[in-house]
Amino acid sequence: MPESKTSYVCLACRASYKLRHDPGGRERRCPRCAAALVYVGSAFVAPRRRDTAAWRTLTVLLHAGVRFPMGCSTGPGYRPRTLREVRERLAYARRTGEPPSRALTRPELP
């Protein structure tokens, strides 16, 4: 079986790492700062380190439990890329009681 690698990020360093997926779920550590890495999924594409807004957007997504798994043919599907898109979806979640992790992956708000 081929090795499957997936992405992890360190939000403090704004760095992403491709690592082998550990089915045991052991915690991964950042090689730079030793903080716990966050699993993001194999379809993840890291923003540039200086793109503060993109990293803040990503932080909200990850804290809400949104990940970037590779779909069969579609990739991860829609993910907000700006704080405005995040705020709109979180407001929608509050209004409707929909879980934030679901509202954040809506391409369009009804």
Per CB under 5 A, the list member of 7, 9, 10, 79 interacting with Zn ion is 10
Q: In the complex, what is the shortest distance from the CB of residue 29 to Zn ion, in angstroms, rounded to a whole number?
A: 9
Query: Do the Cβ atoms of 9 and 15 come closer than 8 Å?
Result: yes
Part in contact with Zn ion (CB under 5 A); list of ranges 9-17, 65-73, 86-94, 102-110: 9-17
Of 46 and 70, CB closest to Zn ion: 46
- Six token digits for residue 26: 């052991």
How many residues in the shown chain lie near Zn ion by CB under 5 A? 7
Please tell me whether residue 18 binds Zn ion under the rule CB under 5 A: no
Q: In the set 9, 16, 30, 103, which binds Zn ion (CB under 5 A)?
A: 30
Residue 13, CA distances (Å) to 1, 16, 49, 73, 94 in order: 32, 9, 8, 31, 31
Q: DSSP secondary structure string, 1-28?
A: ----EEEEEETTTTEEEEEE--TT-PPP
Residue placing its CB nearer to Zn ion in the complex, 13 or 90: 13
Residue 57 phi, psi (nearest 5): -60, -45
* Interaction site with Zn ion (CB under 5 A): 10, 12-13, 30, 32-33, 35
